[in-house]
Structures are given as C-alpha cells and as structure tokens.
Chain A
Amino acid sequence: MGIVIFDGVAYGMLLFLIGVGLSITMGLMNFVNLAHGSFAMVGGYAASVLMNQWGIGFGLSLVAAFVAAALVGAVLEFVFYRRLYRAHPLDQVLLSIGVVFVSIAAFTYFFGPTMQPFTLPKALEGQVSLLGLEVGRYRLFLIGCGVAVLVALLLGLGKTRYGAMVRAAVDNQRVAGGTGIHVQRLFFLTFSLGCGLAGLGGALSLGMLGLEPSFPLKYLVYFLMVVCVGGAGTVTGPFIAALLVGIVDVAGKYYLPETGAFLIYVFMIVMLLVRPNGIVAKKGLA
C-alpha cells in the first residue's frame, strides 16, 4: 500500500514537472499551446546529448535543458506565437500542432528515429530505505524537484514584482499596458519560462520515459489531462491534479491490472464533470 502511494506520488510529480509549463503558457497566457511536448523534447534531447556525447553531469544538463527549451521557446514566440495571442483558439491549435509535426520531422532528421540513450547518475540508481519502505532514489529525487518547482513558482508568481505584473497583464492587457507595463516583453519572458519548465520536465523524464522524436504526440494527452483536471492558469491546480492522476494510475494498475490502465480516463471524465474549470479554478473565470 505504502509503496503504491509513493510510486503514484513520484509518477504524479513527473507529470507535474512536464505539465506545469503548459499551465503557464496555456492557462495564464490563454494560448492553446499543443506544442508543449516539443519544448519538453528539446530539453530532453539537450540533456541526453550533453550527457552522452559531451560527458557533462546530470545537474548541469538539467540547467542546460531548461535554457535550451526556453531559448527555442523565445525564438518561436518572437517569430510565430506573438502574432496569434488574440487570434481564435483554432488558429492557435493549428499553429502549435504544426510546430509539433515540424519538430518531429526535424528531430528525426538530425537524431534519427530511434531512442536516445540515457543512463542515470549512479547516485540516483537503486533504492533507499525511507520510513520502512524501499523506495526508488530517482523517484525520491523527482518528488524533491517537483516540490522545489512548485515552491519557486508560487513565490515567483505570488510574491515578486514580476509575478504581480504577469497577473495584471493576464487579467487585463490594456489596463496593464496603460500603467506602463511592457505587456509584449512580459509575455515573451513568461512564454519562455513556460517552455523552459517544459524542457526541464523533459530532461527529468529521461530516467523514466523513453525519448524519441514522437515524444510530443505520445504524451500530449498526459500534459493536457494534468492541466485540464487541475485548472489552467494556476500552479497548485496542476500539482494536485498530477498527484491524483499519478496515484489513481499506479493504484489502478496495481490492484486491477486488467482494467487499471483505463481508470485515469474515468477519473478525468468524473473530475471534469464535477469541476469543469479544474480543481483550482482561476479567479474571474466564468
């Protein structure tokens, strides 16, 4: 029982780490960004290539993954995304799904269609004893990362001047612009932040998921699930949702292996019926 909950929490944390960036770009900035997985893939490849071909350590590779995905995000924001902030959601879907297909083709071209090699650092391998449970070190590490990202985002968006400006710009762009906030620059930074977080999540997922060019499509449903169930535009919502999805998924597969894999979809439907705007609905949302 204990180990099932622990595994569920760790899996949920991974979903949170990959998905939280989407909550920022899609929820906060109202951009239907289906290309989130592509930015996660950029981070994953960056970390994998740095570690395997350049022999750089895991910690530094994580930082590089964040930076690489944020940079790619910044370029795409500057060239494409900023033109469509006020466009119809369907146009945004079209652009971002296009980015997904282009990224799949580009990564296949440069890195080949096969899986990227990845070996965890020795310190994160195996199990460690925690309160009488034999838990995976890497899973414990994921939980630590998830909590750290959650705290950093809560503080960053809730307590800093930058966070206040973002919240103002999201609530009412025109008024925010009138008070002297550079809305465009702010969105540019925020979008890059969301992409960077995706990249970090992608790099952290290497120890658990396989990375190949079809990554962005394969896990799209998981990113969307976490953000939709949690409530787009918040940070705590996706956090709670990811934990619930993780625990439901792992427990379902453990106790009911025949049907368990289907349980998270049932869970998602029930949650969306009960709380259509997510577990933590954004204030002011109709």
Chain B
Amino acid sequence: MTTTMTKRTLLSTLLLAGFGMAGAAQAQTTEPLRIGLIATYSGPYADYGRQFDAGIALYLKEHGGKVGGRTVEIIKKDTAGPAPDAAKRIAQELIVRDKVNVLTGLDFSPNAYAVGAIATQAKIPTLVMNAASSAITTSSPYVARLSFTVQQVTDPMARYMLKQGVKDAYTVVADYASGVDAETAFKKAFTAGGGKVSGEVRTPMNNPDFSAYVQRIKDAKPQAVFFFFPSGVMPPAFLKVWKERGMEQAGIKLFATGEATDDSYLDATGDVALGLVTSHHYSFAHNSPKNQKFVKDFAADNGTKLRPSYFAVTAYDTMAAIDLALAKTKGDTGGDKFMDALKGLSFESPRGPIEIDAATRDIVQTVYIRKTERANGQLVNVEFDKFERVKDPAKEAAAAK
C-alpha cells in the first residue's frame, strides 16, 4: 500500500514538473493573445453567446487559430442577459485576474455602458459585438463598435418609405430604450423628408396579445406602418395578428427593421413574415462571394440548423478587426496605439464593406432593404435596395451642431 502511494506521488510530481516546464517553454516564445468575451450563455438569450462563439471559431479556424501572429485564448464569461453590475464585475476580473489584452462580446447596451468606465480606467481596447445604443462609443475612448445602432438601420427605412411614395405612417415600437431610439430616428428622418407620422404607440415588453393595437391601426387607416421590436417572440406575435386582421387587404403597408425577421428566428416565425420589407445591415442571404463562403464554412462547422445571424458576422468581423489593428501596431496591444490603429480601419465583411469611423469609433456600413421570401424551402431576407456608408444618425446630428 505504502509503496504504491509513493509511486503515485512520484508519478504525479513528475507529471506536474513536466507541465511546468512545458508552460515555461511556451512563455518564452509568444504569450497567447488573451481576449475576454462577455456575453450571454444562459437564459432566454443564450443564443447570442452561441452565435458569437461560432463566428469567432470560424475566423480562428480560417487563420490557423492565430490573430496578429499570436495564438488566441478566449476567456468566456456569462452575464445571463442584461446585467450591468455583473458585466462590470466580470470586466474587472478579466482585466485584473485573467490579464486580458482585449475585451469584447457585450450583447446588451446596459452591459456595454457598464464596461465603458472600466475600459477607460484600464486602457483596455473594448470592441462591442452587438449593443446597439447610440451613445456607447462616447462612453470611453477605448470603446469601438462593429455591430450597428438601432438608429443607423431605422433612418434608411424612413428614407426608403418616402422613396416609395409613403407620406403618412404610423409607428409601433416596444417600450424600452432601443424602441424609443427607433421611434426617434424614424420620426426625424421621415418628417425631414416631408412625411407625416399620424400616430404612434409604444407597447409594453411583456405583451401577449397585439389585437388591440392592430385594430386601432386598422381603424386609423394610415398609409403605412413602421414597427420595431426586439428579436424573438414579439415580431411573430405582431405579424400573426397583422395577417389575421387582413391588414394587407385593407391596403396598409408594413415596414420594419431587420430584428423583425432575424435570421435566427425566421424559420420559427413562419409564413406570416412573407413579403415583409425590412432594413438591416446583414442578411444570411447577402449575395457576395465573401458571404457565400462564410455561410458555407459556417454550415460545415455548425450544421444547417444554426444559421449565422448578424451576431455571428459581427463576432467574425471583430476578430478580423483585431487582426488588422495588430498588424498595424506590429503586435502592440497597448490601449492608445491599438485604438489609433482601429480608427479608420476598413475591410470587406460578409455583410459588405465596413469601416470604423475615425472620429466616433462607430461602424459605418451599408444598410440593405430586404424582403422576406421563400427560397429553396426556407425563409430568407432577400436584399433588393441599399443605402451605402450609413453612419449613426444620432452622432451625425451631434457633430453637425
């Protein structure tokens, strides 16, 4: 008994020593680039984290697991949804304990705002992968965004509707920060172009039945309706009632932002989405060689059940942006140098050409007008019109003052 024990102890000591040496050997070459990923992996929004992971994994696979010539270590942390306090604490931990070089993820705006202050203190480059509230990039000079803002995709929709001869519109938005953002941006762009918003309504976030709101619109008989709801259960519920009431037959046109026909939910939404015209920065069906390759490789890794949504694309682009910025700084991850390298960066994404505005560190990109159609048995957003180099309208307005 005792002999085996000593043998085992000896063995494990040797093993440990071996590991230690291996670790030391590695440290002598190049340390891996540590990226802290703050996202949602549990609860109703767990899909966000899955999409981020898939996008990052795809980029790393295509580039031999390296970014800026270094191996990458992703340290994932779960906020389980919008939780600014948790996001802030996690960011601190990632910086102090895990010594990350870059922070990213950030699916919810409150989380991104909370991390902004930490990024400033620690001078850690922070790349926002989804949070779409306009002012996030103004919260810290170390924050840049690769996703989009709600206003950025709403404003072109208002201009498109005017182009189609719509003069009188009704707005329906979910009653929370992004909904109000969409309502503001829409009203501004629509009235600036000579249109009139004849009615507006904000629906509560937890709203099981839309019949009252839709009936009210039917009785008000506007020329068209613009709506904004977060991805998930609200858009299908609204569209179901819209179809049931025969609003199309009543001659009322319907427009929305791309959240209404989010690629992750589109199949579950079903035929009620057919024919809906929406505006967004990415569609799974975007017709470019880069995107076709992206979608094909994505399917090879994840199967066809998980479609790459705009979350996966942004995660993929964020990796590309870090790669390009590090190439410019020659591997220096220092906050100031890295952010300088990010400013004005432009490259081809699966969604089309994108660039990071040198002045605002916010993304500049093409916003597409799409229509939901059925192609090869599945529902897709087919792009048919576009607005190029769209900036965040809220920051444009602030700069003009």
Q: A93-106 CB contact bits vs B (8 Å, 1 = yes)?
A: 00000000000100
Q: Which residues of chain A in 202-223 are interfacial with respect to chain B, using CB atoms and an 8 Å cutoff?
A: 207-210, 212-214, 218-219, 222
**B215 surroundings in chain A (CB, below 8 A):** 3-4, 7, 254
Please pick, from A10, A116, A117, A254, the residue contacting B216 in the complex, using a CB distance under 8 A.
A254
**A136 at interface, CB cutoff 8 A:** yes
Contact of B46 among A108, A117, A139, A260 (CB under 8 A): A108
Q: Which A residues are CB-close (under 8 A) to B236?
A: 115, 210
Asked whether, in the complex, the Cβ of A115 is within 8 Å of the Cβ of B268, the reply is: yes
Q: Smallest distance from the beta carbon of A142 to chain B beta carbons, Å?
A: 11
- Would A250 and B271 count as touching, CB distance under 8 A? no
In the complex, whether B208 has a CB less than 8 A from a CB of chain A is: yes
Which of A127, A209, A252 is in CB contact (< 8 Å) with B244?
A: A127
Contact A209 B268 (CB under 8 A): no
Q: CA A188 – CA B245 in complex, angstroms? A: 43
B233–A210 contact, CB under 8 A? yes
Is there contact, CB below 8 Å, between A209 and B208? yes
- A134 and B246: CB pair below 8 A? yes
> Does any Cβ of B come within 8 Å of A126's Cβ?
yes
Q: Are B237 and A250 in contact (CB under 8 A)?
A: no
Decide: B212 and A117 in contact? CB cutoff 8 A.
no
A contact residues around B233 at 8 Å (CB): 115, 209-210, 212
**Residue numbers in A under 8 Å from B244 (CB-CB):** 125-127, 136, 138
Would you call A11 an interface residue if the criterion is a C-beta within 8 Å of the partner chain's C-beta atoms? yes
> Contact at B264–A114, with CB atoms within 8 Å?
yes
Mark contacts of B206-244 with chain A using CB atoms, 8 A cut-off: 1 yes-contact digit, 0 otherwise.
Answer: 111101110110000000000000001110110010011
Q: Is B160 an interface residue (CB 8 A)?
A: no
* Interface size band for A: 35 or more
Residue of A112, A115, A117, A218 ringed by the most chain B CB atoms within 10 A:
A115
**Docked complex: B127-173 residues within 8 A CB-CB of A:** none
Query: Does A253 make an interface contact (CB < 8 A)?
Result: yes
- A108 contact set on B, CB distance < 8 A: 42-43, 46
Query: Which residues from A are CB-within-8-Å of B269?
Result: 115, 117
Rounded to whole Å, the gap between the CB of A117 and the closest CB of chain B is 4
Q: Are B268 and A116 within 8 A (Cβ)?
A: yes
Nearest CB in chain B to that of A209: its residue: B208
A196–B238 CA distance with the chains assembled, in angstroms? 28
The reply to whether B268 and A117 form a contact with Cβ atoms under 8 Å apart is yes
In the complex with contacts A3-B215, A253-B213, A208-B208 CB distance below 8 A: yes
Identify the closest chain A residue to B270 (Cβ).
A119
B213–A257 contact, CB under 8 A?
A: yes
A228 beta carbon closer than 8 Å to chain B: no
A26 at the interface (CB under 8 A from B): no
| Residue count of chain B within 8 Å CB distance of chain A | 36
B206 touching A114 by the CB < 8 A rule?
no
**Is B72 in the interface zone, CB < 8 Å from A?**
no
Known: A114-B47, A136-B244, A138-B244. A210 touches B237 (CB 8 A): yes
CA separation between A146 and B344, bound complex, in Å?
Answer: 61
Contact call A209/B245, Cβ cutoff below 8 A = no
**Which has the most chain A C-beta neighbours within 10 Å: B211, B240, B264?**
B211
Interface centre among B44, B46, B212 (most CB of A within 10 A): B212
Q: How far is the CB of A20 from chain B (nearest CB, A)?
A: 17
Asked whether A213 lies within 8 Å of B44 as measured between CB atoms, the reply is yes
B267 an interface residue at 8 Å Cβ cutoff? yes
CA distance A104 to B42 in the complex (A): 10
Give chain A nearest CB distance to B9 CB in angstroms: 40
| Residues of A247-267 contacting chain B, CB below 8 A | 249-254, 257-258, 260-261
> Which residue on B lies nearest to A10, using beta carbons?
B211
B310 CB to nearest chain A CB (Å):
15
Kindly state the separation between the CA atoms of A260 and B44 in the bound complex, as whole angstroms.
27
CB distance from B167 to the nearest CB of A (A): 23
Which residue of B has the minimal Cβ distance to A3? Answer: B215
Task: Provide the bound-state CA to CA distance between A219 and B118, in Å.
Answer: 37
Shortest distance between the CB of A202 and any CB in chain B (Å): 13
**Complex interface residues of chain B between 91 and 108 (CB less than 8 A to chain A):** none
A11 to B42, CA, bound (A): 31
CA–CA, A42 and B209, complex, Å: 21
Closest to A207 in B: B240
Mark contacts of A120-140 with chain B using CB atoms, 8 A cut-off: 1 yes-contact digit, 0 otherwise: 000001110000001010110
In the bound complex, CA of A123 to CA of B16 (Å): 69
What residues of chain A lie closer than 8 Å to B243, measured between beta carbons?
125-126
A118 within 8 Å of B by Cβ? yes
Residues of B39-98 contacting chain A, CB below 8 A: 42-47
- Known A113-B44, A212-B232; judge A219-B208 contact (CB<8 A): yes
Which of chain A's residues have a CB closer than 8 A to the CB of B264?
A: 114
Cα-based distance from A126 to B367 in the complex (angstroms): 34
A residues within 8 A CB of B203? 253, 261
B residues 263-288 near A (Cβ < 8 Å) are 264-265, 267-271
Q: Considering the chains assembled together, what is the distance between the CA atoms of A118 and B212 in angstroms?
A: 22
The answer on a CB contact under 8 Å between A127 and B246 is yes
- Structural contact, B46 and A250, CB atoms closer than 8 A: no
Residues of B within 8 A of A11 (CB): 208-209, 211
* Residue among A7, A119, A218, A252 with the highest chain B CB neighbour number at 10 A: A7
Indicate the member of A113, A125, A138 with the most B CB atoms within 10 Å: A113
Contact B246 A250 (CB under 8 A): no
With the chains together, A251 CA to B211 CA distance in Å?
Answer: 10
- Interface residues of chain B, those whose CB is within 8 Å of chain A, are 42-47, 201-204, 206-209, 211-213, 215-216, 232-234, 236-237, 240, 243-246, 264-265, 267-271
Which 9 pairs from chain A and chain B are nearest by CB? A210-B233, A253-B212, A254-B212, A117-B268, A113-B46, A214-B44, A261-B204, A7-B211, A115-B268
20 A-B pairs, CB-CB below 8 angstroms?
A7-B211, A14-B209, A112-B47, A113-B43, A113-B47, A115-B233, A115-B268, A118-B268, A138-B244, A208-B209, A210-B233, A210-B236, A214-B43, A249-B212, A250-B209, A250-B212, A251-B212, A253-B212, A254-B213, A254-B215
